[in-house]
Amino acid sequence: MAKILIIGAGGVAGVAAYKCAEAAQKTGVFDSVALASRTLVRCEAVAANVRKRLGYDIPVFQVDADDAPALCELLRRVRPDIVLNLALPYQDLHIMDACLACGVNYVDTANYEPRDTAKFEYKWQWAYRERFQEAGLMALLGSGFDPGVTNVFAAWGLRHKLDAIHVLDIIDCNAGSHGQAFATNFNPEINIREVTARGRYFEHGEWVETDPLSWAMEVDFPDGIGKKRCYLMFHEELESLSINLPGLRRARFWMTFSESYLNYLRVFESVGLTGIKPVSFRGAEIVPLQFLAALLPDPASLGRHSSGKTCIGDVLTGLKDGAKACCYIYNICDHARCFEETGSQAISYTTGVPAMIGAKLMAEGVWRKPGVWNLEQLDPDPFMENLNQYGLPWQCVDRDPAQ
């Protein structure tokens, strides 16, 4: 049994809190689930939702995770075994420092990026490896869907389907609609920084850069979703998978965007609203993207009007018994069904469920190794079983490797 403290009270944390409470009730794995974030009323709203749906009580606390002494004081008061960081990537290092100072294990869903440069890399968090090892603590990085489940799909495919993976294509399709003119399905500032960045993919040991969203392909998705245009982007799991999957020759990440989303984005970019350098506005300094993000819909509020499905998965091509082979491992998630269960849309759901699963496996001692780990470095089988049990069932289909 373990005590878990979730930090952050946005869309993803709302689902993770619900799923931690569900796991606590079903298996007793967590003997308490607590929640802390910058804005107390948001914590209270998450706790009220969990109480209403599951009759489970979550104590809530206010904390600014960038304030190291305040965060350590909270950790000493709550005494969690695991901190599940669902705040923003900017907080990762502060929360890892506090975990080390207070002897707490750590899980997150997105890698650190500095506020003033839209560049995310694992190097800052991998640099904590020895300190976590020496402290006998574990840090699990990127336990969302992508990164997260997509890393586990690759590890599972390598164990059960292929003897070697040569080509990996991760394809993220949101074929849903949220009924808004323009909205992002997770934190708008982080989402727009990611989408407007230069594309990058891994080929023959090198990173190849592309202009933002300049490469596209059409993919025919299963379960009635049909054909959608997918755009090449850099995504953080490519960095760890290119190191941890032996024999990988090419790894790329693709995401679907509607024409409408792209048009809005082009307009915002063209007038400077996606900029991250401060500008002077009537005597005050503001960051244009933060101003835009403040105007956009809160991702946690999108569930009620969201419909349609997401389909996120890995196409793995390589060798089986000396012959070319290919398989597609994916999950389909329905926005309306997620809303009915948890009050959230499918992007928060597909991130919050694996965040809980990563923490659950650590709490159970199934995944428990001192150090800093990405998900593909751990046994994929128990994670895959938990996906089926906690609302993200997956499929694996063989494909013609020649196509």
Q: Which residues contact 401 (CB under 8 A, 6 or more apart)?
A: 317, 324, 325, 326
Alpha carbon distance 325, 273 (integer Å): 45
Q: Which is nearer to ligand NDP, 66 or 364 (CB)?
A: 66
Q: Mutual orientation of helices 11-27 and 335-342 as an angle, nearest 10°?
A: 60
- Output the six-digit token pair for 175: 């074929």
Which residues, 22 to 61, sit near ligand NDP by CB under 6 A?
37-39, 42
Backbone phi and psi for residue 134, each to the nearest 5 degrees, phi listed first: -65, -30
Q: Which is nearer to ligand NDP, 128 or 145 (CB)?
A: 145
Which region among 85-93, 240-248, 254-262, 384-392 touches ligand NDP (by CB under 6 A)? 85-93
Q: Which is nearer to ligand NDP, 148 or 391 (CB)?
A: 148
Q: What SS3 class is residue 301?
A: helix
Q: Which is nearer to ligand NDP, 63 or 265 (CB)?
A: 63
Output the smallest distance, CB 261 to ligand NDP, in A: 16
Which region among 123-131, 186-194, 214-222, 282-290 touches ligand NDP (by CB under 6 A)? 186-194
Q: Which is nearer to ligand NDP, 10 or 401 (CB)?
A: 10
Which residues, 95 to 114, sit near ligand NDP by CB under 6 A?
109-110
Q: How many CA atoms lie within 13 A of 53 on its CB side?
A: 23
Q: How many CA atoms lie within 13 A of 388 on its CB side?
A: 9
| Member of 88, 162, 183, 241 binding ligand NDP (CB under 6 A) | 88
Q: Are 107 and 314 in contact (CB under 8 A)?
A: no
Alpha carbon distance 17, 33 (integer Å): 7
CA distances (Å), origin 286, targets 2, 90, 282: 42, 18, 10
Q: Are 251 and 242 in contact (CB under 8 A)?
A: yes
Q: Which is nearer to ligand NDP, 32 or 37 (CB)?
A: 37
Q: Which is nearer to ligand NDP, 64 or 381 (CB)?
A: 64
Which residues, 137 to 156, sit near ligand NDP by CB under 6 A?
142, 144-148
- The residue sitting closest to ligand NDP, measured at its beta carbon, is 10
Q: Is 186 one of the binding residues for ligand NDP (CB under 6 A)?
A: yes
| Member of 299, 343, 371, 401 binding ligand NDP (CB under 6 A) | 299
Residue type for 290, please? Q
Output the smallest distance, CB 205 to ligand NDP, in A: 26
Total of chain residues touching ligand NDP, rule CB under 6 A: 35
Is residue 119 classed exposed, middle or buried when 0-12, 13-18 and 19+ CB atoms within 10 A define those classes? Answer: exposed
Output the smallest distance, CB 288 to ligand NDP, in A: 18
Q: Where does this chain bind ligand NDP (CB under 6 A)?
A: 7-13, 37-39, 42, 63-66, 86-89, 91, 109-110, 142, 144-148, 186-187, 190, 299-300, 347, 351
